[in-house]
Amino acid sequence: MLEILKEPWPWYVAGPLIGLTVPILLIIGNKSFGISSSLRHICAACIPSNISFFKYDWKKESWNLFFVFGIFLGGVIAAYLLSNPNPVEITPELSEQLASYGITDHTGLVPVQLFSWESLFTLRGFIMMVVGGFLVGFGTRYAGGCTSGHAIMGISNLQWPSVVATICFMIGGFVMSLLILPYILSL
């Protein structure tokens, strides 16, 4: 049984399990699925200030903080107890393309040459981690939610803004991976 948990799950198992989160949250407590709002709740709870954006009853949404903590805890458990010791399998073509950019260590979940403390102080690492993180945060705030909130919850509730946001997320991902990322990796 433990070996089954260590292997990647096929889309036809993992997808419906993620999708079932939506009706369970709606049926149990009339709650919507989304992760990005939890940062606002944390800031409202921890930062005593006169910022109107943080002046609301965050305690009504405390379930979301437990939900996010559960995701974090599940990730820690999975990383330490259920992780597969074998390198992440990628296609030989991708491995060859990454090697042309100097990325040869892809044994973990992320390439060490891109995501490490040493690479943070390089131009490429700074763009990937700091600028990329800022753009993700800005896009999440500008779109009024993250990909999980819009694509999983919003579309299942037939919300037109979520369809538009998800299409924009996808277009942005394609533009980034096909046009911008090769330029950044060549730095």
Q: What residues does each domain of the chain span?
A: 1-83, 114-187
Can you give the pLDDT of all 187 residues of the chain as single tens digits?
Answer: 677 777 778 889 888 888 888 888 888 888 777 788 888 888 888 887 788 878 888 888 888 888 889 989 988 988 888 877 777 778 899 889 888 988 887 777 788 888 889 889 999 989 999 999 999 888 888 888 888 788 888 888 888 999 999 999 999 999 999 999 999 988 8
Longest CA span, the chain: 54
Task: Answer yes or no: are the C-beta atoms of 43 and 54 closer than 8 Å.
Answer: yes
- Coil, strand, or helix at residue 165? helix
Closest CA to 40 of 135, 137, 130, 132: 137
Supply the pTM of this predicted model. 0.72
Q: What interhelical angle do 62-81 and 37-46 show, nearest 10?
A: 110
- Coil, strand, or helix at residue 111? coil
Q: Which two tokens stand for residue 109?
A: 């979940």
